[in-house]
Amino acid sequence: MTRGDLLEFLQEHRLGVVATTSPDGDPQSAVVGIAVTDQLEIVFDTLSTTRKCKNLRRHRKISVVDQESTLQYEGIADEPTGPELERLKKLYFVVYPECMDHPSWGGITYFRIRPTWIRYSDFNANGNIVEFSKLLRAAAGTYQSFVAQRRVRSTLVWIRLVRDITEE
């Protein structure tokens, strides 16, 4: 699986289960509608009164499981503002045009998740597991191309890359 394959796979799906941590340390999960940028960022909206919103404002680590397959996605969430928020909302509304009135609701917010670890698993007879444990970022802030070589052992494929997330 290449980076392009991963991006196409993610962009084909509209639902994900986000898992956050409550103030008491308990896990809390919810199904959300997702949109995915070309930088593998996941965008979703939620009301500011929801548990996931309160949890993410307090503790930004989050994981997402694709509702429709065996994709695991972990990252760091933030609430973009200004031009960055507008860029992400445009993408979100392409995926969810029926949600264009959400900003008028009052209390609506948008979260972006930047990936720190992604794993795609196919447990079929000839399937494989591909782990994008960390993604490289170029100096300009865009992702570098994925490594072309792959090492295959049995049905297991590992692609390990490193991403600088010190700004998080």
- Is the pLDDT at 161 greater than 70? The verdict is no
Kindly list the domain boundaries of the chain, sorted by start residue: 3-116
pLDDT value, residue 1: 75
Kindly write down the DSSP assignment for every residue of the chain, as one continuous string: --HHHHHHHHHH--EEEEEEE-TTS-EEEEEEE-EE-TTS-EEEEEETTSHHHHHHHH--EEEEEETTSSEEEEEEEE---HHHHHHHHHHHHHH-GGGTTGGGGSSEEEEEEEEEEEEEE--STT--EEEE-S--B-TTSSBPPPPS--EEETTEEEE------TT-
pTM listed for this prediction: 0.57
- Place 30 in a pLDDT band, splitting at 50, 70 and 90: confident
Backbone angles phi, psi at 163, to 5 degrees: -125, 135
Its CATH class, for the domain covering 3-116, is: mainly beta
pLDDT, tens digit (0-9, with 9 covering 90-100), for 31-47: 888 999 999 999 999 99
pLDDT, tens digit (0-9, with 9 covering 90-100), for 107-158: 999 999 888 778 776 655 676 666 665 443 332 233 223 322 222 222 222 2
The residue written with tokens 């909302």 in the block is: 89
